[in-house]
A = this chain, B = another copy of it.
Amino acid sequence: MPGTTTKESTKTLLLEKGTEIMLEKGYNNTGIMEVLQSTGVPKGSFYHYFESKEDFGLQIINYFDQASKEKLRTTVLNQSISPLQRLKSYCELGIEHFLSQKCRKGCLISNLSQEMADQNEIFRARLLEIQNENTKVFATCLKEAQEAGEISKSFNTNDLAELFQAAWGGAVMRSKICKTVEPMQSFMDMMFGRMLTP
């Protein structure tokens, strides 16, 4: 059904463009009109796919999360390489991607968490859910690194996963302000060269 394809493409186009704009400008500062103008989609169509700006924002979060989960699948969950190497691949991919974006944007989940945590309970609940899912993926990988003897057995891998993600998110934020990937690189040097070494 070509009709279905077109409808799906329009929705995907709106989600794609909305993600790009929201990554740079945040949720509150993103206007629906700007999204419509940059895609050429009429207003009526927009409200066919999305109930409201809030619904659009939540669907953008899910759209971004799907892409993030795919990145986790090819790195942190990639059983063909060692657990510690998987975490390194995740960070290397992050640096590569951030450079390709000219050190702009960063992670939508972090950006919106910072912006919306005190503003909207529905957003907060969804962002918390995604953060928790991701922390579990990192904790499992760190547990496997421990079992493989790559990191010390004395770590609490849940706490370590929290620290790993907090520090990585902080390094990305710092890189956004510096407009270089040095803080992300420094994170990798410290984490893999010093903190996680047995």
Contacts and interface: CB of A to CB of B under 8 A. Distances in A.
A177 B104 CA distance: 23
Interface in A16-40: 24-26, 28-29
Contact of A159 (B105, B160, B176, B190): B190
A106 B166 CA distance: 14
A168 B160 CA distance: 13
Of A29, A160, A177, most B-chain CB atoms within 10 Å: A177
A85 interface: no
Nearest to A131: B177
18 contacts: A25-B118, A28-B29, A104-B117, A104-B118, A110-B114, A110-B173, A115-B115, A118-B176, A124-B177, A124-B179, A127-B177, A131-B174, A162-B187, A166-B170, A166-B173, A166-B174, A169-B169, A195-B195
A188 to B, nearest CB: 10
Contact of A114 (B162, B171, B176): B176
A186 B154 CA distance: 15
A118 B24 contact: yes
Contacts of A154: 194
Interface in A113-130: 113-115, 117-119, 124, 127-128
Given A127-B177, A159-B189, 12 more contacts: A24-B118, A26-B26, A26-B115, A28-B28, A113-B174, A113-B177, A118-B176, A124-B177, A162-B186, A163-B171, A166-B183, A169-B169
A24 B25 CA distance: 17
Nearest to A155: B194
A78 interface: no
Contact of A26 (B28, B104, B168, B183): B28
A117 B173 CA distance: 9
B118 A115 contact: no
